[in-house]
Structure 1
Amino acid sequence: MNALPDSSIASLVDVQSQADPRQVAIQQVGVRGVRHPVRVAADAGAAQETVARWTLTVALPAEKKATHMSRFMELLAAHRHEAMKPARLCAMAESMLDLLQAGAGDITVDFPYFIDKAAPMTGARSLMDYQVGWEAHARQGRRTDFSLRVVVPVTSLCPCSKAISRYGAHNQRSQVTVRLDYAAAPALDLDRLIGDIEACGSSQLWGLLKRADEKFVTEQAYENPKFVEDLVRDVAIGLRRLSGVTAFEVAVENFESIHNHSAYAVVRGGPQA
Structure 2
Amino acid sequence: MNETVKKQLPDKQERHKLFGSVEPGPKTKPIEKEQMKDLQNTRKDFLFELDAVGISNVKHPVIVNSSLTPETQTTIGTFYFASSISQDSKGTNMSRFTEQLQTYYENGLVLTLETLKSFVYELRQRLEQKDAEVTVSFPWFFERKAPYSEKAGLNHADAWIKVHYDQDEGYDVRVGVKGKITTLCPCSKEISEYSAHNQRGNIEMEVLLNEDFDEDKLDWKFILLEAAESNASARIHPVLKRPDEKMVTEQAYENPRFVEDMVRLVASDLYEIDEVERFFVKCINEESIHLHDAVASITYDKRDEQSV
User: Normalising by the residue count of structure 1, what TM-score does the alignment of the two structures yield?
Assistant: 0.92
Moved more, 78-87 or 6-15: 6-15
Given candidates 202, 212, 219, the residue that maps to 2:250 is: 219
Moved more, 9-18 or 42-51: 42-51
Structure number with greater Rg is 2
Amino acid at match of 1:258: I
1:27 aligns with 2:51: yes
Amino acid at match of 2:208: D
Once the two structures are superposed, what CA deviation does each residue of 1:218-257 show, in whole Å capped at 9, x if it has no partner? 1110111111111111111001011222211111111111
Once the two structures are superposed, what CA deviation does each residue of 1:124-179 show, in whole Å capped at 9, x if it has no partner? 11111101111001101332110012112100001111111111100000011111
Change (3 A) 1:129 1:34: same
Alignment-derived partner of residue 240 in structure 2: 209
2: CA distance, partners of 1:72 / 1:170? 49
1:79, distance to aligned residue in structure 2 (A): 1.5
User: Normalising by the residue count of structure 2, what TM-score does the alignment of the two structures yield?
Assistant: 0.82
Question: Is contact 1:90-1:145 (8 Å) kept?
Answer: no
1:128 aligns with 2:152: no
1:60 aligns with 2:91: no
Alignment-derived partner of residue 23 in structure 2: none
1:244 aligns with 2:275: yes
**Partner SS state of residue 243, structure 2:** helix
Change (3 A) 1:147 1:199: same
Alignment-derived partner of residue 3 in structure 1: none
Superposition map of 1:180-195 within 5 A: 180-184=207-211, 186=213, 187=215, 188-189=218-219, 190-195=221-226
Superposition map of 1:119-158 within 5 A: 119-158=146-185
Given candidates 67, 87, 90, the residue that maps to 2:114 is: 87
1:265, distance to aligned residue in structure 2 (A): 1.0
Change (3 A) 1:34 1:150: same
The alignment covers a number of residue pairs equal to: 268
Identity among equivalent pairs (%): 33
| The structure with more strand, counted as a fraction of residues | 1
1:37, distance to aligned residue in structure 2 (A): 1.1
2: CA distance, partners of 1:75 / 1:244? 30
Question: Is contact 1:145-1:185 (8 Å) kept?
Answer: no
1:203, distance to aligned residue in structure 2 (A): 0.1
Moved more, 141-150 or 96-105: 141-150
2: CA distance, partners of 1:230 / 1:22? 50
1:44, distance to aligned residue in structure 2 (A): 8.1
Gaps of 5+ in 1: 1-5
Once the two structures are superposed, what CA deviation does each residue of 1:76-120 show, in whole Å capped at 9, x if it has no partner? 111221321112111211111011111011111111111111111
Alignment-derived partner of residue 99 in structure 2: 74
1: CA distance, partners of 2:112 / 2:137? 13
Alignment-derived partner of residue 60 in structure 2: 36
Question: Is contact 1:42-1:85 (8 Å) kept?
Answer: no
Question: Is contact 1:240-1:270 (8 Å) kept?
Answer: no
Question: Is contact 1:172-1:255 (8 Å) kept?
Answer: yes
1:235 aligns with 2:262: no
Gaps of 5+ in 2: 1-29
2: CA distance, partners of 1:141 / 1:24? 20
2: CA distance, partners of 1:106 / 1:184? 17
2: CA distance, partners of 1:40 / 1:101? 30
2: CA distance, partners of 1:211 / 1:195? 25
